[in-house]
Structure 1
Amino acid sequence: MSAETAAGNPNTKALSDVGVSIWLDDLSRQRLESGSLAKLIESHHVVGVTTNPTIFESAVGSGDSYEGQLAELAAKGADAEQAVFEITTADVREACDVFAGVYAASEGVDGRVSIEVDPRLARNADATIKEAKRLYQAVDRENVMIKIPATVEGIEAIAAVLAEGISVNVTLVFSLERYRAVINAFMLGLEKAYAEGLDISKIHSVASFFVSRVDTEVDKRLELAAEEGKPGTEKLKSKAAIANARLAHQIASESFTSERWLLLADRGGRPQRLLLASTGTKDPSLSDTLYVTELAAAGVVNTMPEKTLNALADHGEVDGDTMTDTYVDSNRVLDGISAAGISYREVVDALEAEGLGKFEKSWEGLLATVDEGLKRNA
Structure 2
Amino acid sequence: MPAPGGPAGPLGPAGRASTPAATRATTPAAAPHPRVTAGVSVWLDGLSRQRLASGRLAALARQGRIAGVVSDPAFLARSLAGGSCYTGQLGDLAERGVPAERALKALAVHDIRWACDILRPVHEATAGVDGLVCVTLDPRLAHDAAATLAEARALWRAVDRRNAVLGIPATAAGLTALSACLAEGINASATLVLSAARHRQAWDAYTEGLERARAAGRHLASLASVASFPVSRIDTAADALLDREGTLEARAMRGAVAVAAARHVHEQYERMLGESRWHALAARGARPQRLLWTATTVPEPGASGLLPTRYAAPLLTRGTVTAVTEGTLEELDGLNGPDGLNGPDGLGGLGGLKARELPELPGVQEAAGEAPDGPGPGTYAAARRLLGHLQWFGIDHGELASRLETEALKELNDAWHQLLDRVTLALDQGPAAGDGTA
TM-score by length of 2: 0.81
Shift of 1:276: 0.6
Check whether the contact 2:35–2:341 (CA below 8 A) recurs between aligned residues. no
Residue 136 (1) aligns with residue 156 (2):
yes
In 1, the alpha carbon distance for the partners of 2:233 and 2:172 equals 20
In 2, the alpha carbon distance for the partners of 1:207 and 1:317 equals 23
SS in structure 1 at match of 2:158: helix
Check whether the contact 2:227–2:291 (CA below 8 A) recurs between aligned residues. yes
Amino acid in the other structure paired with 1:280: T
Q: RMSD in angstroms over aligned alpha carbons? A: 1.7
In 2, the alpha carbon distance for the partners of 1:174 and 1:373 equals 35
Alignment correspondent of 1:150: 170
Taking a change above 3 Å as real, the CA distance of residues 17 and 339 of structure 1, as seen in their structure-2 partners, is: farther
Counterparts of 1:326-341 in structure 2 under 5 Å? 326-341=379-394
Check whether the contact 2:316–2:341 (CA below 8 A) recurs between aligned residues. no
Alignment correspondent of 1:217: 237
CA distances 1:89-141 after superposition (whole Å, capped 9, x unpaired): 11000000000100100011100001211111111111111111111111000
SS in structure 2 at match of 1:257: coil
Match of 1:369 among 411, 418, 422: 422
Match of 1:127 among 117, 138, 147: 147
SS in structure 2 at match of 1:50: strand
Shift of 1:79: 0.7
In 1, the alpha carbon distance for the partners of 2:189 and 2:310 equals 24
Shift of 1:237: 1.1
Match of 1:323 among 350, 354, 358: 350
Shift of 1:209: 1.1
In 2, the alpha carbon distance for the partners of 1:152 and 1:345 equals 17
Alignment correspondent of 1:22: 42
SS in structure 2 at match of 1:302: strand
Residue 267 (1) aligns with residue 284 (2):
yes
Alignment correspondent of 2:323: 303
Check whether the contact 1:243–1:330 (CA below 8 A) recurs between aligned residues. yes
In 2, the alpha carbon distance for the partners of 1:343 and 1:81 equals 40
Shift of 1:346: 2.3
Residue 277 (1) aligns with residue 294 (2):
yes
Shift of 1:372: 1.3
Alignment correspondent of 1:254: 271
Match of 1:164 among 170, 184, 190: 184
Check whether the contact 1:44–1:313 (CA below 8 A) recurs between aligned residues. no
Shift of 1:13: 4.2
SS in structure 1 at match of 2:296: coil
Shift of 1:61: 1.4
Check whether the contact 1:293–1:317 (CA below 8 A) recurs between aligned residues. yes
Counterparts of 1:43-54 in structure 2 under 5 Å? 43=63, 45-54=65-74
Amino acid in the other structure paired with 1:118: D
Identity among equivalent pairs (%): 39
Amino acid in the other structure paired with 1:235: A
Amino acid in the other structure paired with 1:119: P
TM-score by length of 1: 0.93
Shift of 1:180: 0.5
Shift of 1:302: 0.4
SS in structure 2 at match of 1:290: coil
CA distances 1:185-240 after superposition (whole Å, capped 9, x unpaired): 000000011111111111111110110010010111111122xx5x6212211111
Q: Which has the higher helix share?
A: 1
Check whether the contact 2:42–2:322 (CA below 8 A) recurs between aligned residues. yes
Alignment correspondent of 1:3: none
Match of 1:105 among 100, 110, 125: 125
Amino acid in the other structure paired with 1:363: W
Match of 2:51 among 31, 34, 43: 31
CA distances 1:40-64 after superposition (whole Å, capped 9, x unpaired): 1133521100110111111111111
Amino acid in the other structure paired with 2:404: L
Alignment correspondent of 2:97: 77
Taking a change above 3 Å as real, the CA distance of residues 155 and 102 of structure 1, as seen in their structure-2 partners, is: same
SS in structure 1 at match of 2:192: strand
Amino acid in the other structure paired with 1:318: N
Shift of 1:317: 5.8
Check whether the contact 1:279–1:291 (CA below 8 A) recurs between aligned residues. yes
In 1, the alpha carbon distance for the partners of 2:290 and 2:44 equals 16
Amino acid in the other structure paired with 2:276: E
CA distances 1:230-280 after superposition (whole Å, capped 9, x unpaired): x62122111110011111111111111211100011112111111111111
SS in structure 2 at match of 1:207: strand
SS in structure 2 at match of 1:108: coil
Check whether the contact 1:155–1:182 (CA below 8 A) recurs between aligned residues. yes
Match of 1:57 among 74, 77, 80: 77
Alignment correspondent of 1:342: 395
Check whether the contact 1:113–1:145 (CA below 8 A) recurs between aligned residues. yes
Match of 1:293 among 313, 316, 332: 313
SS in structure 2 at match of 1:374: helix
